[in-house]
Amino acid sequence: MPPATRADLDDLAELLASAREVLVLTGAGMSTDSGIPDYRGPDGTRRVTPVQYQEFVRSADVRRRYWARAFVGWRRLATAGANAGHHAIARLQSVGALGALITQNVDGLHQAAGSRGVVELHGALASVVCLACGARSRRAELDARTRELNPDFHPDDGEVRPDGDIAFADAVLAGFVVPRCLGCDSDRLKPDVVLFGESVPQPRVTRCYALTDHADVLLVLGSSLRVYSGYRFVRRAAERGIPVAIVTHGPSRGDPMATVRLDAALGQVLPALAERLHAEPPRAGVPHSLSTPARHYGSP
């Protein structure tokens, strides 16, 4: 798919400007400029295999492997900062150009940039839940306890994954101690996120359906929509005749339903969109990547 043009960006700005309520749905591509890679490559193929919910629940060894890797990955993820796209969304919200935001990401970077009305569809890595007693705690507190239990655990860093862990050889896991729940002493602690194979809590889904039904436009940013948990809201919007705009690199499962479709970098499109919708002082020039033809999908 060719990259987006100035005309494409103007079409997107016009669509958003004409709407009373724009609902935003973001995916992993939103955070790649912050150094957090996507699960999938540009062609939509999954690059890494995430931990599966059923395996995590059943196996103490799987939980131990996850928490050892996550212990290392959290140091990197906790220091990741909101990028230009995150800040542009917050500015667009501040002037009323965008409304509520549903994110499939678990990194908390939208809130760090100042966004409001954020629904974390898949939860947040900053929180931990005990599968035995339901007690919740802060990830920072768990990290501190993990450090105390494993003072000599310092494996070489690898690439951080979207779920906050880092892959390294199982051989380095020898001796790693997983903290236990302070409430019931269980070893069944889990990041308070929806793992692959786990269902999104129904009240959260219901809330997101309500937000979709209330919107005049659904704006999808940085998601291939391969995962049904986010794709369902695009289907819902299309079924109700709500225009869908999609900005992401590579193919998207929602392309046939899109009114406006841009293939471009969010770190360039969103600040430029903020300029057009008066969410920041005008800047001279337009990014070079917005200067060649693009393809649109669907119909108004």
Catalytic residue (choose from 87, 110, 122, 249): 122
| Tokens, residue 162 | 């979207």
Give the Cα separation of 265 and 249 in Å (integer): 7
What is the DSSP secondary structure assignment for residue 35, as one 8-state letter? T
Give the Cα separation of 208 and 295 in Å (integer): 29
Quick check: is 214 catalytic? no
Q: Residue 165 in contact with residue 214, Cβ under 8 Å?
A: no
The helix (H) or strand (E) run that includes residue 207 is: helix 202-214
Number of H helices, E strands in the chain: 9, 9
Rounded alpha-carbon distances, angstroms, from residue 151 to 61, 137, 143, 170, 185: 20, 22, 12, 18, 21
Looking at the DSSP assignment, which residues form a beta bridge with residue 127? 138
Report, as residue numbers or ranges, the catalytic residues: 122
